[in-house]
Amino acid sequence: MELAYVCEWEKRPRSTHCPSIPLVCSWSCRNLVAFTTDLKNDDDDKDVSHMIHIIDTEHPWDVYSISSGHTEVISCLEWDQSGSRTLSADGDGQIKCWSMSDHLVNSWESILSSSLDGDPIVALSWLHNGVKLALHVNKSIVCPCFLLKFSRVKFSPSLTLFGGKPMEGWMAVTVSGLVTVSLLKPGGALLTASESLCRLRGRVALADIAFTGGGNIVVAATDGSSSSPVQFYKVVVSVVSEKCRIDTELLPSLFLRCTTDPMRRDKYPAVTHLKFLTRENSEQVLLCASNQSGSIVECWSLRKEGLPVNNIFQHRSPVVGEKQPTILKWRILTTTNDLERVSAVALPKLPISISNTDLKVASDTKFCPGLGLSLAFHDGSIQILHRLSLHTMGVFYGSSSSSSAQRPGDESAIKRQRTGGPTLHFKALQFSWTSLALAGVDNHGKLHMLRVSPSMGQVLEMNTTLRHLLFLLEYCMVTGYDWWDVLLHVQPTMVHNLVEKLHEEYMRQNQALQQVLATRIVAVKASLCKLSTATAARACDFHAKLLLIAISSTLKSLLRPHVLNTPDKSPGDRLTEICAKNTDTDIDKVMINLKTEEFVLDGPPLQSLQQLIQWVGDFVLYLLANLPNQGSMVRPGFGFMRDGASLGMLREMLVVIRIWGLLKPGCLPTFTAMSDNQDSMQLLFRLLTKLWLCSRDDGPPQDPDESLIDECCLLPSQLLVPSMDWLPVNDGVIVKLQGKQPLRLQFGKASSLPGGGSTTPLEVFTRSPGSQKMDNLRCVHMGVCPTEESKACTRCGCVTMLRSPNKTNAMKQWEQRWIKNCLCGGLWRRIPPTLP
């Protein structure tokens, strides 16, 4: 483990000095981190604001702080499985649901709430939606199919609507032993009910919630004393006559092992942490008992055991089909030795399969993500322990000393006594969704981001390291989770090999899955290529490809069949088929084979799409004019020269634009020609077709012939070649974390540190202070100092106006496609206006 960055407040929150006030942290699958602090008024110590802070890990300084309105200390934060909503609960029984305002990660609002006045919440969870994957390490090498590497596990939702659709809602456990459930009805109303966990209600100091494959919910609860039993309850939620109903049932309980050990019976009087090992596994639980100076951790498992039969019944002749009666019983798996006092616990979210075969392959290949749980201690250190054996896998000694990931056998380093230890310690700790990063909030309110090596510091061959990272990138592609934490471990020298191997694995999937993942893999490649200056130009190509795919699908969707009883193929599919078969370089001859009545549209939609059509024309001209310049240095556009599919798509777009130009000449792209009789579209189509013929998928790739290169050399003397405005350089931290030195950042102040690359950036990325700002989605210029509010993608840096300036339906349809996410799938964040 090593520190990646620390983000601190300019003015430290006063109440974080107080050890009795907990801090809470939660990490979403979209790499949003939420954490809490409590701010006291300097004039009145009783006036406390309970704050929720939300950041995206790529721009940690751009924090959105919410004055939550909670009247007591916030005790729980919980993201939903989409990463777009979060729950907060406090010590007064208030539960609030927060959602993005205008789909911006730095703008949030409370949309729903429920309350159990005066009853503090100790556990909180969203109801399960029935989606569960299992990640099989043993198939990461031998099996090419993504659907077998990441298999869907049969798992029922906590509650279903008509037709089996999962019902949304949340569940909480209070300190008085109540369980409360709030259900989100399809109309937006909230259905709430409460029920006691058992007939004899008692104090619940700690609780946790897990789910079973049959749709039931299991609650673990303790009163905080290590001498008391840890109780387990089954909770079943249903809707009867438009009312929420909760049924509870007592399950087998357990006593901590340390309380039965004569040497430790009274040593650890309090249970300080109670966690199910995973959200979908109610049969394994982690318990931590502590005193003022130390802790001990125990791992328990629920097993089915045969019930012994009395001797009187053993001599009875057995009945056919009769089975021995069984009972469920908690058995201890393992326990740690005496530890430093534990201050926080983090459990892995990666759903790795723990079958014997998978565990053996993971051990042989040193694949550790998902197998380790993290413990933070009051001396400022962090240990990662194996989730089954609890043996040490890695140690982090705090930011004030040299950070390192110790090998599992290095016991001397673990037991080493350190003098003058750090005063800071972590109050909250959370794993990322691939377990390759840890986010921790210390007792001064600072946010720490730590890298967690996939091999826990063990030396691996380069091919094995690449295979581990590739496996996790594939997992993110299939699930749609953000892959930012995987990029933390990618060095510039790995980028090219990772991109090539990822493409090879993608091409081995079936056609249907390739179509589903078509844009997602392009976005992953673009993120990888930005990590190295040698591949930065390819990142431009991948972003341009995303825009091309989007424009192509939008323009094709406007085509309508002339006759209602349509054949199997849509007009867009027929266009693709005809253009692929017809290799003629004359655009008008290609048009003859098309049913032009399918392309008839009204004038206003065509005119409103002119800026997208203009981008297609400018991009084709730029590619062809730069064909002779693609030499040893890779420039933007190089990736398209041998991409037959993308060149074919551009060719189709030119045909469509040519037809629409006959109906509405104002929608045609504008070119500055050197002669009045120059047919620009005809010229570009002819050269593009020749280039496409060199890179078609149905034949071996060929180098462009000399005549084509000569004609492309003459293009700048025939048409004015536009300067393409590529995406701006991403201002996030990921490109600045290539070195081993951690970044020191401050909330509210944008990072101004130089990038991690040793070479100067490409000229295409540089922006002069007086250059025009570009709306990268609408393909229009916004001016040097835009007055319109803008938003930027957290992943790729794409900038677009927050409010639409268009009033036509066709352009609004285009804009609605990107209201929630960018072209690359990244989230939006509001950016401050440009100062003149």
* pLDDT of 604 higher than 80: no
pLDDT of residue 753: 54
Angle, in degrees to the nearest 10, between helices 462-479 and 518-529: 140
| One domain, residues 709 and 804 | no
Answer with the residue of higher pLDDT: 518 or 735.
Answer: 518
- Residues with Cβ within 8 Å of 32's Cβ and at least 6 positions away in sequence, in order, are 54, 55, 56, 57, 79, 83, 105, 827
Q: What distance lies between CA 291 and its chain's CA centroid? A: 38
Query: Per residue in 285-301, pLDDT tens?
Result: 999 999 999 999 999 99
10 Å CB burial of residue 14 (0-12, 13-18, 19+) is middle
| One domain, residues 148 and 270 | yes
* Structural domain count of the chain: 3
pLDDT of residue 305: 82
Q: Which of 84-93, 96-105, 518-527, 776-785 has the lowest mean pLDDT?
A: 776-785
Query: Per residue in 113-148, pLDDT tens?
Result: 999 988 999 999 999 999 999 999 998 888 889 999
- Residues with Cβ within 8 Å of 264's Cβ and at least 6 positions away in sequence, in order, are 258, 296
Q: Which of 17-21, 203-207, 431-435, 806-810 has the lowest mean pLDDT?
A: 17-21
Query: Per residue in 155-178, pLDDT tens?
Result: 999 999 888 889 999 999 999 999
* pLDDT of 724 higher than 60: yes
Residue 152 is assigned to a structural domain of this protein:
yes
Angle, in degrees to the nearest 10, between helices 462-479 and 495-507: 50
Reference 636, options 744, 525, 727; nearest CA is 727
- Residues with Cβ within 8 Å of 567's Cβ and at least 6 positions away in sequence, in order, are none
| One domain, residues 668 and 812 | no
Q: Which of 242-251, 271-280, 671-680 has the lowest mean pLDDT?
A: 671-680
Considering the entire predicted model, what is its pTM?
A: 0.91
* pLDDT of 632 higher than 70: no
Residue 668 is assigned to a structural domain of this protein:
yes
| One domain, residues 642 and 774 | no
Residue 491 is assigned to a structural domain of this protein:
no
Residue 817 is assigned to a structural domain of this protein:
yes
The fraction of the chain above a pLDDT of 70, given in percent, is 88
- Give the count of alpha carbons within 13 A of 521, CB side only: 20
Which of the listed ranges 303-312, 532-541, 543-552, 721-730 does the model predict with the highest average pLDDT? 543-552
Reference 777, options 764, 763, 791; nearest CA is 791
| One domain, residues 711 and 802 | no
| One domain, residues 131 and 249 | yes
| One domain, residues 675 and 819 | no
pLDDT of residue 769: 62
DSSP-derived secondary structure for 493-551: GGHHHHHHHHHHHHHTS-HHHHHHTHHHHHHHHHHHHTT-TTSHHHHHHHHHHHHHHHH
- CA 732/CA 46 separation, integer angstroms: 38
Residue 688 is assigned to a structural domain of this protein:
yes
Residue 77 is assigned to a structural domain of this protein:
no
The residue whose two tokens read 């021995």 is 324
| One domain, residues 780 and 701 | no
Beta bridge partners of 76: 89
The residue whose two tokens read 């989606």 is 131
| One domain, residues 210 and 330 | yes
| One domain, residues 696 and 823 | no
**Mean pLDDT of all residues in 371-383:** 94
pLDDT of residue 631: 62
Helix (H) or strand (E) holding 427: strand 426-431
CA geometry: angle 531, 537, 538, nearest 5 deg: 80
- Indicate the average pLDDT of the chain: 86
Query: Per residue in 400-449, pLDDT tens?
Result: 433 444 444 444 444 444 444 446 889 999 999 999 999 999 988 889 99
Q: Which domain holds residue 577?
A: 548-717
| One domain, residues 799 and 707 | no
10 Å CB burial of residue 541 (0-12, 13-18, 19+) is buried
User: Do residues 636 and 540 lie in contact, with contact meaning Cβ atoms separated by under 8 Å?
Assistant: yes
* pLDDT of 693 higher than 80: yes
Beta bridge partners of 700: none
**Mean pLDDT of all residues in 65-87:** 92
Residue 20 is assigned to a structural domain of this protein:
no
| One domain, residues 180 and 305 | yes
pLDDT of residue 43: 54
* pLDDT of 566 higher than 70: no
Q: Which of 198-207, 468-477, 518-527 has the lowest mean pLDDT?
A: 198-207
Q: Are strands 790-793 and 799-801 parallel, antiparallel or unpaired?
A: antiparallel
pLDDT of residue 341: 94
**Mean pLDDT of all residues in 356-372:** 92
pLDDT of residue 563: 66
Residue 561 is assigned to a structural domain of this protein:
yes
Query: Per residue in 22-46, pLDDT tens?
Result: 679 999 999 999 999 887 655 555 6
- Give the count of alpha carbons within 13 A of 527, CB side only: 30
pLDDT of residue 418: 43
pLDDT of residue 689: 93
- Residues with Cβ within 8 Å of 612's Cβ and at least 6 positions away in sequence, in order, are 551, 554, 555, 779, 814
Which of the listed ranges 484-498, 605-619, 659-673 does the model predict with the highest average pLDDT? 484-498
- Give the count of alpha carbons within 13 A of 227, CB side only: 6
Beta bridge partners of 352: 135
pLDDT of residue 511: 92
Q: Provide the residue type at 831 as one letter.
A: I
